Copies of this chain bind each other. A is one copy, B any other.
Amino acid sequence: MVAPAIRVAPSAANRALNLLRTVQYTHPPNCPCHSNPNHHHHHKTPSMMNNVRRHLATPVDPSRQKEYAFEMAASSIRFGPGSTKEVGMDFTNMGAKRVCIVTDSNVAKLDAMKQAVEGLTREGIQFTIFDKVRTEPKDSSIREAIAFAKPYKPDAFLAVGGGSVIDTAKLMNLYTVFPEADFMDFVNAPLGKGLPVTKPLLPLVAVPTTAGTGSETTGTAIFDLVEKKAKTGIAHRALKPTLGICDPLNTRTMPSAVHAASGLDVLCHSLESWTAIPYNERTPRPTNPINRPAYQGANPISDIFSLEALRNTVKYLPRAVRDPDDHEAQSQMLLAATLAGVGFGNAGVHLCHGMSYPISSQNPGYKHSGYQVDHPIIPHGVSVAVTAPAVFKFTAASNPDRHLAAAEAFGIDISNVKRESAGEVLGNAIAEFLAKLGDQPRGLKDLGFKSSDIEGLVEGTIPQQRVLMLAPNLSGELEAERGELRRLLEESLDY
Protein backbone atom coordinates (compact mmCIF):
# COMPACT_ATOMS: atom_id res chain seq x y z
CA MET A 1 0.00 0.00 0.00
CA VAL A 2 1.78 3.09 -1.20
CA ALA A 3 0.22 6.42 -0.38
CA PRO A 4 1.11 9.52 -2.33
CA ALA A 5 3.41 11.99 -0.65
CA ILE A 6 1.82 15.07 0.81
CA ARG A 7 1.80 17.77 -1.81
CA VAL A 8 3.73 20.72 -0.54
CA ALA A 9 1.97 23.85 -1.66
CA PRO A 10 3.18 27.35 -0.78
CA SER A 11 0.77 27.23 2.18
CA ALA A 12 2.85 24.40 3.63
CA ALA A 13 5.74 26.77 3.98
CA ASN A 14 3.50 29.24 5.73
CA ARG A 15 2.37 26.50 8.02
CA ALA A 16 5.91 25.53 8.78
CA LEU A 17 6.65 29.15 9.62
CA ASN A 18 3.55 29.25 11.77
CA LEU A 19 4.75 26.11 13.45
CA LEU A 20 7.84 27.94 14.56
CA ARG A 21 5.66 30.58 16.13
CA THR A 22 3.01 28.37 17.62
CA VAL A 23 4.55 25.25 19.04
CA GLN A 24 6.00 26.21 22.36
CA TYR A 25 8.89 23.92 22.86
CA THR A 26 11.89 25.41 24.49
CA HIS A 27 14.43 22.70 23.71
CA PRO A 28 17.28 24.56 22.02
CA PRO A 29 18.23 23.16 18.66
CA ASN A 30 20.91 20.52 18.83
CA CYS A 31 23.41 19.77 16.15
CA PRO A 32 21.29 19.94 13.00
CA CYS A 33 23.04 17.05 11.29
CA HIS A 34 22.38 14.75 14.16
CA SER A 35 18.69 15.33 14.06
CA ASN A 36 18.37 13.65 10.68
CA PRO A 37 18.66 9.92 11.11
CA ASN A 38 18.58 9.27 7.38
CA HIS A 39 21.57 11.52 6.96
CA HIS A 40 23.09 10.64 10.24
CA HIS A 41 26.65 10.61 9.10
CA HIS A 42 26.60 13.52 6.74
CA HIS A 43 27.33 16.95 7.98
CA LYS A 44 25.36 19.31 5.83
CA THR A 45 21.70 19.20 6.80
CA PRO A 46 20.41 22.75 6.55
CA SER A 47 19.01 24.39 9.63
CA MET A 48 15.30 24.49 10.22
CA MET A 49 14.85 28.09 9.11
CA ASN A 50 16.82 27.44 5.97
CA ASN A 51 14.69 24.40 5.39
CA VAL A 52 11.55 26.47 5.68
CA ARG A 53 12.85 29.18 3.41
CA ARG A 54 13.89 26.66 0.80
CA HIS A 55 10.30 25.52 0.48
CA LEU A 56 9.27 28.92 -0.73
CA ALA A 57 11.46 28.65 -3.75
CA THR A 58 12.45 25.08 -4.47
CA PRO A 59 10.85 21.65 -4.56
CA VAL A 60 10.87 20.03 -1.18
CA ASP A 61 12.97 17.02 -0.32
CA PRO A 62 10.73 15.48 2.35
CA SER A 63 13.65 13.56 3.85
CA ARG A 64 15.09 16.90 4.93
CA GLN A 65 11.87 18.30 6.38
CA LYS A 66 11.59 18.16 10.12
CA GLU A 67 8.65 16.54 11.84
CA TYR A 68 5.69 18.82 12.60
CA ALA A 69 3.36 16.52 14.54
CA PHE A 70 3.51 13.88 17.21
CA GLU A 71 1.23 10.97 17.89
CA MET A 72 0.42 9.61 21.29
CA ALA A 73 -0.81 6.05 21.53
CA ALA A 74 -0.93 3.78 24.55
CA SER A 75 -2.63 0.60 25.57
CA SER A 76 -5.60 0.86 27.86
CA ILE A 77 -4.33 0.29 31.38
CA ARG A 78 -6.20 -1.30 34.23
CA PHE A 79 -4.53 -0.92 37.60
CA GLY A 80 -5.59 -2.60 40.81
CA PRO A 81 -4.56 -5.31 43.24
CA GLY A 82 -6.37 -8.51 42.28
CA SER A 83 -7.45 -7.31 38.84
CA THR A 84 -5.72 -10.25 37.12
CA LYS A 85 -8.75 -12.37 37.85
CA GLU A 86 -10.90 -10.17 35.56
CA VAL A 87 -8.98 -11.27 32.47
CA GLY A 88 -11.32 -14.13 31.55
CA MET A 89 -14.26 -11.76 31.39
CA ASP A 90 -12.19 -9.38 29.26
CA PHE A 91 -11.68 -12.08 26.64
CA THR A 92 -15.38 -12.96 26.72
CA ASN A 93 -16.20 -9.26 26.34
CA MET A 94 -13.90 -9.11 23.30
CA GLY A 95 -15.55 -12.16 21.81
CA ALA A 96 -12.36 -14.23 22.05
CA LYS A 97 -12.84 -18.00 22.21
CA ARG A 98 -9.36 -19.44 21.69
CA VAL A 99 -6.50 -17.78 23.49
CA CYS A 100 -2.76 -18.39 23.28
CA ILE A 101 -1.25 -17.75 26.72
CA VAL A 102 2.42 -16.77 26.67
CA THR A 103 4.68 -17.02 29.72
CA ASP A 104 8.00 -18.43 30.90
CA SER A 105 8.81 -21.44 33.00
CA ASN A 106 9.24 -19.41 36.20
CA VAL A 107 6.14 -17.28 35.90
CA ALA A 108 4.16 -20.39 34.95
CA LYS A 109 4.38 -21.42 38.60
CA LEU A 110 3.27 -18.09 40.07
CA ASP A 111 -0.10 -16.91 41.29
CA ALA A 112 -0.45 -14.51 38.36
CA MET A 113 -0.68 -17.45 35.97
CA LYS A 114 -2.99 -19.32 38.32
CA GLN A 115 -5.37 -16.34 38.38
CA ALA A 116 -5.23 -16.00 34.61
CA VAL A 117 -5.85 -19.67 33.91
CA GLU A 118 -8.69 -19.80 36.43
CA GLY A 119 -10.18 -16.67 34.87
CA LEU A 120 -10.22 -18.19 31.40
CA THR A 121 -11.48 -21.52 32.69
CA ARG A 122 -14.40 -19.89 34.54
CA GLU A 123 -15.44 -18.29 31.26
CA GLY A 124 -15.16 -21.53 29.32
CA ILE A 125 -12.54 -20.07 26.99
CA GLN A 126 -10.24 -22.51 25.18
CA PHE A 127 -6.56 -21.82 25.60
CA THR A 128 -3.10 -23.20 25.12
CA ILE A 129 0.01 -22.24 27.07
CA PHE A 130 3.43 -21.46 25.60
CA ASP A 131 5.75 -21.33 28.61
CA LYS A 132 9.14 -21.40 26.86
CA VAL A 133 9.79 -17.68 26.52
CA ARG A 134 13.50 -16.99 26.87
CA THR A 135 14.62 -14.14 29.10
CA GLU A 136 16.35 -11.61 26.83
CA PRO A 137 14.84 -13.25 23.73
CA LYS A 138 16.85 -14.11 20.62
CA ASP A 139 15.43 -14.21 17.11
CA SER A 140 15.61 -18.00 17.32
CA SER A 141 13.49 -18.11 20.49
CA ILE A 142 11.00 -15.68 18.95
CA ARG A 143 10.74 -17.82 15.82
CA GLU A 144 10.14 -20.87 17.98
CA ALA A 145 7.34 -19.07 19.79
CA ILE A 146 5.77 -17.96 16.50
CA ALA A 147 5.94 -21.53 15.19
CA PHE A 148 4.02 -22.60 18.30
CA ALA A 149 1.29 -19.98 17.89
CA LYS A 150 0.55 -20.18 14.15
CA PRO A 151 -0.96 -23.69 13.96
CA TYR A 152 -3.09 -23.07 17.06
CA LYS A 153 -4.89 -20.27 15.18
CA PRO A 154 -5.74 -18.28 18.31
CA ASP A 155 -8.18 -15.39 18.18
CA ALA A 156 -6.39 -13.54 21.01
CA PHE A 157 -3.17 -13.58 23.05
CA LEU A 158 -2.53 -13.28 26.77
CA ALA A 159 1.00 -12.49 28.01
CA VAL A 160 1.77 -13.09 31.69
CA GLY A 161 5.31 -12.18 32.66
CA GLY A 162 8.05 -9.60 32.35
CA GLY A 163 9.18 -7.65 29.30
CA SER A 164 10.61 -10.69 27.54
CA VAL A 165 7.28 -12.49 27.73
CA ILE A 166 5.21 -9.52 26.63
CA ASP A 167 7.61 -8.69 23.78
CA THR A 168 7.56 -12.29 22.57
CA ALA A 169 3.75 -12.33 22.66
CA LYS A 170 3.62 -9.15 20.54
CA LEU A 171 5.67 -10.86 17.84
CA MET A 172 3.68 -14.10 18.03
CA ASN A 173 0.62 -11.92 17.42
CA LEU A 174 2.24 -10.03 14.55
CA TYR A 175 3.39 -13.09 12.60
CA THR A 176 0.16 -14.97 13.26
CA VAL A 177 -1.71 -12.11 11.56
CA PHE A 178 0.92 -11.92 8.79
CA PRO A 179 1.66 -15.63 8.37
CA GLU A 180 3.31 -15.20 4.97
CA ALA A 181 5.68 -12.43 6.04
CA ASP A 182 9.39 -13.04 6.24
CA PHE A 183 10.69 -12.53 9.77
CA MET A 184 12.95 -9.67 8.66
CA ASP A 185 10.10 -7.78 6.94
CA PHE A 186 9.06 -5.96 10.10
CA VAL A 187 12.42 -5.86 11.93
CA ASN A 188 13.65 -2.30 12.44
CA ALA A 189 15.66 -0.91 9.54
CA PRO A 190 18.47 -0.97 8.63
CA LEU A 191 18.90 -4.53 9.95
CA GLY A 192 15.44 -5.52 8.73
CA LYS A 193 13.05 -3.99 6.22
CA GLY A 194 11.12 -1.99 8.82
CA LEU A 195 7.81 -2.39 6.97
CA PRO A 196 4.80 -0.73 8.61
CA VAL A 197 2.08 -2.91 10.08
CA THR A 198 -0.89 -2.47 7.76
CA LYS A 199 -3.55 -4.58 9.46
CA PRO A 200 -4.89 -4.59 13.01
CA LEU A 201 -3.47 -7.42 15.10
CA LEU A 202 -5.43 -9.77 17.36
CA PRO A 203 -6.34 -8.60 20.86
CA LEU A 204 -3.41 -8.98 23.25
CA VAL A 205 -3.81 -8.58 27.00
CA ALA A 206 -0.55 -8.13 28.92
CA VAL A 207 -0.22 -8.86 32.62
CA PRO A 208 3.21 -7.67 33.79
CA THR A 209 4.87 -9.50 36.67
CA THR A 210 7.78 -7.07 36.96
CA ALA A 211 7.78 -3.31 37.44
CA GLY A 212 10.27 -2.36 34.79
CA THR A 213 9.88 -2.60 31.06
CA GLY A 214 6.52 -0.92 30.66
CA SER A 215 6.09 -3.28 27.71
CA GLU A 216 2.39 -3.59 28.55
CA THR A 217 1.86 -0.07 27.13
CA THR A 218 4.26 0.06 24.20
CA GLY A 219 4.41 -1.09 20.61
CA THR A 220 8.02 -2.19 20.95
CA ALA A 221 9.50 -5.70 21.11
CA ILE A 222 13.26 -6.15 21.62
CA PHE A 223 15.41 -9.19 20.89
CA ASP A 224 18.92 -10.28 19.94
CA LEU A 225 19.45 -10.74 16.23
CA VAL A 226 22.16 -13.33 16.66
CA GLU A 227 23.68 -13.44 13.18
CA LYS A 228 24.13 -9.64 13.22
CA LYS A 229 25.30 -9.69 16.87
CA ALA A 230 22.87 -6.84 17.47
CA LYS A 231 20.06 -6.07 19.86
CA THR A 232 17.20 -4.86 17.72
CA GLY A 233 13.47 -5.27 17.57
CA ILE A 234 10.22 -4.38 15.96
CA ALA A 235 8.49 -1.16 16.88
CA HIS A 236 5.10 -0.06 15.69
CA ARG A 237 2.06 1.30 17.50
CA ALA A 238 -0.01 -1.55 16.04
CA LEU A 239 1.93 -3.98 18.27
CA LYS A 240 0.81 -2.39 21.51
CA PRO A 241 -1.37 -4.57 23.72
CA THR A 242 -5.09 -3.92 23.73
CA LEU A 243 -5.06 -3.83 27.52
CA GLY A 244 -2.38 -3.92 30.18
CA ILE A 245 -3.54 -5.33 33.51
CA CYS A 246 -1.23 -3.93 36.19
CA ASP A 247 -1.91 -5.92 39.32
CA PRO A 248 0.42 -5.01 42.19
CA LEU A 249 -0.12 -8.46 43.70
CA ASN A 250 1.85 -9.87 40.75
CA THR A 251 5.09 -8.00 41.49
CA ARG A 252 5.28 -9.15 45.11
CA THR A 253 7.16 -12.24 44.02
CA MET A 254 10.12 -10.20 42.72
CA PRO A 255 13.26 -10.60 44.83
CA SER A 256 14.79 -7.35 46.08
CA ALA A 257 17.57 -7.47 43.47
CA VAL A 258 14.98 -7.74 40.70
CA HIS A 259 13.03 -4.82 42.16
CA ALA A 260 16.23 -2.79 42.01
CA ALA A 261 17.29 -3.74 38.49
CA SER A 262 13.79 -3.39 37.04
CA GLY A 263 13.41 -0.05 38.77
CA LEU A 264 16.65 1.23 37.26
CA ASP A 265 15.19 0.45 33.85
CA VAL A 266 12.22 2.65 34.79
CA LEU A 267 14.59 5.37 35.99
CA CYS A 268 16.40 5.41 32.64
CA HIS A 269 13.22 5.14 30.56
CA SER A 270 12.00 8.28 32.23
CA LEU A 271 15.32 10.17 32.14
CA GLU A 272 16.08 9.25 28.53
CA SER A 273 12.62 9.99 27.16
CA TRP A 274 12.50 13.28 29.09
CA THR A 275 15.83 14.36 27.56
CA ALA A 276 15.45 12.85 24.07
CA ILE A 277 15.60 15.29 21.17
CA PRO A 278 12.22 16.98 20.67
CA TYR A 279 9.93 15.42 18.08
CA ASN A 280 10.04 18.52 15.92
CA GLU A 281 13.81 18.26 15.55
CA ARG A 282 13.52 14.78 14.11
CA THR A 283 13.82 14.18 10.37
CA PRO A 284 12.52 13.05 7.99
CA ARG A 285 8.94 14.20 8.26
CA PRO A 286 6.96 11.07 7.36
CA THR A 287 5.06 11.32 4.10
CA ASN A 288 2.43 8.95 5.48
CA PRO A 289 1.35 8.94 9.14
CA ILE A 290 1.82 5.15 9.31
CA ASN A 291 5.54 5.81 9.03
CA ARG A 292 5.69 8.12 12.03
CA PRO A 293 7.89 6.14 14.41
CA ALA A 294 6.79 5.19 17.91
CA TYR A 295 10.14 6.54 19.15
CA GLN A 296 9.48 10.05 17.87
CA GLY A 297 11.39 12.22 20.34
CA ALA A 298 10.21 14.10 23.41
CA ASN A 299 6.81 15.73 23.06
CA PRO A 300 4.47 17.61 25.36
CA ILE A 301 2.43 14.53 26.29
CA SER A 302 5.30 12.06 26.76
CA ASP A 303 6.98 14.71 28.91
CA ILE A 304 4.17 14.60 31.44
CA PHE A 305 4.51 10.83 31.82
CA SER A 306 8.29 10.78 31.86
CA LEU A 307 8.69 13.43 34.55
CA GLU A 308 5.99 11.94 36.75
CA ALA A 309 7.54 8.48 36.43
CA LEU A 310 10.95 9.90 37.31
CA ARG A 311 9.62 11.58 40.44
CA ASN A 312 7.82 8.43 41.57
CA THR A 313 10.84 6.23 40.92
CA VAL A 314 13.13 8.45 42.97
CA LYS A 315 10.57 8.41 45.76
CA TYR A 316 9.52 4.77 45.82
CA LEU A 317 12.31 2.62 44.34
CA PRO A 318 14.59 2.82 47.40
CA ARG A 319 11.68 1.80 49.64
CA ALA A 320 10.62 -1.07 47.34
CA VAL A 321 14.20 -2.39 47.32
CA ARG A 322 14.79 -2.01 51.05
CA ASP A 323 11.58 -3.53 52.41
CA PRO A 324 9.91 -6.52 50.74
CA ASP A 325 6.76 -5.77 52.75
CA ASP A 326 6.46 -2.19 51.57
CA HIS A 327 3.56 -2.94 49.26
CA GLU A 328 2.72 0.70 48.79
CA ALA A 329 6.16 1.36 47.32
CA GLN A 330 5.93 -1.75 45.13
CA SER A 331 2.53 -0.69 43.88
CA GLN A 332 3.81 2.80 43.10
CA MET A 333 6.78 1.34 41.22
CA LEU A 334 4.42 -0.73 39.06
CA LEU A 335 2.53 2.46 38.29
CA ALA A 336 5.79 4.32 37.59
CA ALA A 337 6.91 1.55 35.23
CA THR A 338 3.69 1.90 33.26
CA LEU A 339 3.82 5.70 33.20
CA ALA A 340 7.43 5.56 32.01
CA GLY A 341 6.30 3.03 29.41
CA VAL A 342 3.80 5.50 27.98
CA GLY A 343 6.52 8.17 28.03
CA PHE A 344 9.35 6.31 26.32
CA GLY A 345 6.92 4.27 24.22
CA ASN A 346 6.03 7.50 22.43
CA ALA A 347 9.27 9.48 22.82
CA GLY A 348 12.03 6.86 22.80
CA VAL A 349 15.21 6.25 24.73
CA HIS A 350 18.78 7.06 23.78
CA LEU A 351 22.34 6.68 25.06
CA CYS A 352 21.94 4.57 28.22
CA HIS A 353 19.84 2.05 26.35
CA GLY A 354 22.04 2.22 23.26
CA MET A 355 25.17 1.34 25.27
CA SER A 356 23.41 -1.17 27.52
CA TYR A 357 23.01 -3.73 24.76
CA PRO A 358 26.75 -4.36 24.20
CA ILE A 359 27.38 -4.03 27.95
CA SER A 360 25.00 -6.92 28.61
CA SER A 361 26.08 -9.04 25.66
CA GLN A 362 29.85 -8.50 26.10
CA ASN A 363 29.66 -9.34 29.82
CA PRO A 364 33.18 -10.40 30.91
CA GLY A 365 31.68 -12.81 33.46
CA TYR A 366 29.84 -10.67 36.02
CA LYS A 367 27.00 -12.30 37.93
CA HIS A 368 24.71 -9.82 39.64
CA SER A 369 24.07 -10.65 43.28
CA GLY A 370 20.56 -11.76 44.08
CA TYR A 371 19.92 -13.31 40.66
CA GLN A 372 19.33 -17.06 40.99
CA VAL A 373 20.84 -18.14 37.68
CA ASP A 374 23.70 -20.48 36.83
CA HIS A 375 25.40 -18.19 34.32
CA PRO A 376 26.93 -14.71 34.29
CA ILE A 377 24.31 -11.95 34.07
CA ILE A 378 24.25 -8.17 33.96
CA PRO A 379 20.52 -7.46 34.37
CA HIS A 380 19.14 -5.07 31.76
CA GLY A 381 18.39 -2.34 34.30
CA VAL A 382 21.92 -2.53 35.70
CA SER A 383 23.54 -2.32 32.28
CA VAL A 384 21.34 0.66 31.46
CA ALA A 385 21.98 2.61 34.66
CA VAL A 386 25.74 2.08 34.85
CA THR A 387 26.40 4.75 32.20
CA ALA A 388 23.67 7.13 33.36
CA PRO A 389 25.86 9.48 35.46
CA ALA A 390 28.18 10.07 32.50
CA VAL A 391 25.38 10.21 29.94
CA PHE A 392 23.33 12.97 31.57
CA LYS A 393 26.42 14.97 32.41
CA PHE A 394 27.11 14.86 28.67
CA THR A 395 23.61 15.54 27.34
CA ALA A 396 22.85 18.47 29.66
CA ALA A 397 24.31 21.05 27.28
CA SER A 398 21.48 20.26 24.86
CA ASN A 399 18.89 21.52 27.31
CA PRO A 400 20.12 22.62 30.74
CA ASP A 401 16.64 23.51 32.00
CA ARG A 402 15.31 20.03 31.39
CA HIS A 403 18.33 18.48 33.09
CA LEU A 404 17.92 20.82 36.05
CA ALA A 405 14.27 19.80 36.33
CA ALA A 406 15.43 16.18 36.41
CA ALA A 407 17.97 17.01 39.13
CA GLU A 408 15.15 18.65 41.08
CA ALA A 409 13.22 15.37 40.84
CA PHE A 410 16.16 13.81 42.71
CA GLY A 411 15.58 16.29 45.51
CA ILE A 412 18.37 18.70 44.57
CA ASP A 413 17.76 22.34 45.39
CA ILE A 414 18.44 23.86 41.98
CA SER A 415 17.60 27.44 42.87
CA ASN A 416 21.26 28.47 42.88
CA VAL A 417 22.61 26.07 40.29
CA LYS A 418 23.98 27.64 37.14
CA ARG A 419 22.74 26.25 33.85
CA GLU A 420 26.34 25.35 32.89
CA SER A 421 26.45 23.05 35.90
CA ALA A 422 23.23 21.20 35.07
CA GLY A 423 25.03 18.11 33.78
CA GLU A 424 27.46 17.91 36.69
CA VAL A 425 24.62 18.28 39.20
CA LEU A 426 22.32 15.73 37.55
CA GLY A 427 25.14 13.23 36.96
CA ASN A 428 26.16 13.42 40.62
CA ALA A 429 22.56 13.08 41.76
CA ILE A 430 22.14 9.89 39.73
CA ALA A 431 25.46 8.46 40.99
CA GLU A 432 24.45 9.15 44.57
CA PHE A 433 21.02 7.60 44.01
CA LEU A 434 22.64 4.42 42.64
CA ALA A 435 25.12 4.26 45.53
CA LYS A 436 22.40 4.63 48.14
CA LEU A 437 20.22 2.01 46.43
CA GLY A 438 22.90 -0.54 47.32
CA ASP A 439 24.37 -3.58 45.55
CA GLN A 440 24.92 -1.60 42.36
CA PRO A 441 28.20 -1.53 40.45
CA ARG A 442 30.15 1.71 40.84
CA GLY A 443 30.97 1.71 37.16
CA LEU A 444 31.89 -0.69 34.37
CA LYS A 445 35.02 -1.88 36.24
CA ASP A 446 32.82 -3.41 38.92
CA LEU A 447 31.20 -5.40 36.11
CA GLY A 448 34.63 -6.67 35.09
CA PHE A 449 35.21 -4.41 32.09
CA LYS A 450 38.72 -3.04 31.50
CA SER A 451 39.87 -0.05 29.47
CA SER A 452 40.77 -2.45 26.70
CA ASP A 453 37.11 -3.51 26.42
CA ILE A 454 35.89 0.00 25.63
CA GLU A 455 36.49 -0.27 21.89
CA GLY A 456 34.29 -3.35 21.66
CA LEU A 457 31.54 -1.58 23.54
CA VAL A 458 31.78 1.43 21.20
CA GLU A 459 31.49 -0.78 18.13
CA GLY A 460 28.55 -2.60 19.72
CA THR A 461 26.77 0.68 20.33
CA ILE A 462 27.20 2.26 16.90
CA PRO A 463 24.56 0.00 15.23
CA GLN A 464 21.89 1.18 17.72
CA GLN A 465 20.94 4.03 15.41
CA ARG A 466 17.23 3.84 16.22
CA VAL A 467 17.95 5.07 19.74
CA LEU A 468 21.16 7.02 19.07
CA MET A 469 19.24 9.22 16.62
CA LEU A 470 17.24 10.52 19.58
CA ALA A 471 20.34 11.31 21.67
CA PRO A 472 20.81 15.00 22.30
CA ASN A 473 24.22 16.56 21.93
CA LEU A 474 25.80 13.75 19.88
CA SER A 475 27.82 15.12 17.00
CA GLY A 476 26.15 12.90 14.42
CA GLU A 477 29.37 12.39 12.46
CA LEU A 478 30.50 8.79 12.68
CA GLU A 479 34.09 9.25 13.81
CA ALA A 480 33.20 12.05 16.22
CA GLU A 481 30.39 9.92 17.59
CA ARG A 482 32.79 7.04 18.22
CA GLY A 483 34.93 9.45 20.21
CA GLU A 484 31.93 10.67 22.21
CA LEU A 485 30.79 7.14 23.02
CA ARG A 486 34.38 6.21 23.95
CA ARG A 487 34.58 9.12 26.40
CA LEU A 488 31.18 8.26 27.91
CA LEU A 489 32.24 4.63 28.43
CA GLU A 490 35.64 5.65 29.83
CA GLU A 491 33.96 7.98 32.27
CA SER A 492 31.65 5.14 33.23
CA LEU A 493 34.54 2.81 34.17
CA ASP A 494 34.32 3.94 37.76
CA TYR A 495 32.76 6.74 39.77
**Residues B69 and A83 in contact, CB atoms below 8 Å apart:** yes
**Residues B249 and A93 in contact, CB atoms below 8 Å apart:** no
Q: Given A86-B289, A89-B289, A93-B198, decide whether A330 and B22 contact each other with a Cβ distance below 8 A.
A: yes
Docked Cα-Cα span, A248 to B24, in Å, equals 12
Least distance between A62 CB and chain B CB atoms (Å): 13
List residues of chain B with CB within 8 A of the CB of A301.
77, 79, 335, 339
Q: Given A74-B74, A93-B1, A237-B76, decide whether A300 and B69 contact each other with a Cβ distance below 8 A.
A: no
Cβ contact of A79, chosen from B72, B80, B199, B331, cutoff 8 A? B72
Which of chain B's residues has its CB closest to A119's CB? B6
Q: Given A80-B68, A95-B199, A289-B78, decide whether A249 and B18 contact each other with a Cβ distance below 8 A.
A: yes
Copies of this subunit: 2
The answer to whether the Cβ of A92 comes within 8 Å of any Cβ in the partner chain is yes
Cβ contact of A12, chosen from B18, B82, B339, cutoff 8 A? B82
List residues of chain B with CB within 8 A of the CB of A1.
92-93
**Residues A23 and B72 in contact, CB atoms below 8 Å apart:** no
Least distance between A122 CB and chain B CB atoms (Å): 6
Docked Cα-Cα span, A80 to B289, in Å, equals 12
Docked Cα-Cα span, A331 to B300, in Å, equals 12
Q: Given A74-B74, A76-B73, A289-B93, decide whether A81 and B18 contact each other with a Cβ distance below 8 A.
A: yes
Docked Cα-Cα span, A93 to B3, in Å, equals 9
A contacts with B, residue count (CB < 8 A)? 59
Name 5 A/B residue pairs within 8 A (Cβ), A-sorted: A18-B249, A73-B77, A79-B299, A93-B288, A304-B304
**Residues B331 and A22 in contact, CB atoms below 8 Å apart:** yes
The answer to whether the Cβ of A108 comes within 8 Å of any Cβ in the partner chain is no
Docked Cα-Cα span, A458 to B344, in Å, equals 47
**Residues A71 and B81 in contact, CB atoms below 8 Å apart:** no
List residues of chain B with CB within 8 A of the CB of A442.
none
The answer to whether the Cβ of A144 comes within 8 Å of any Cβ in the partner chain is no
The answer to whether the Cβ of A19 comes within 8 Å of any Cβ in the partner chain is yes
**Residues A3 and B123 in contact, CB atoms below 8 Å apart:** yes
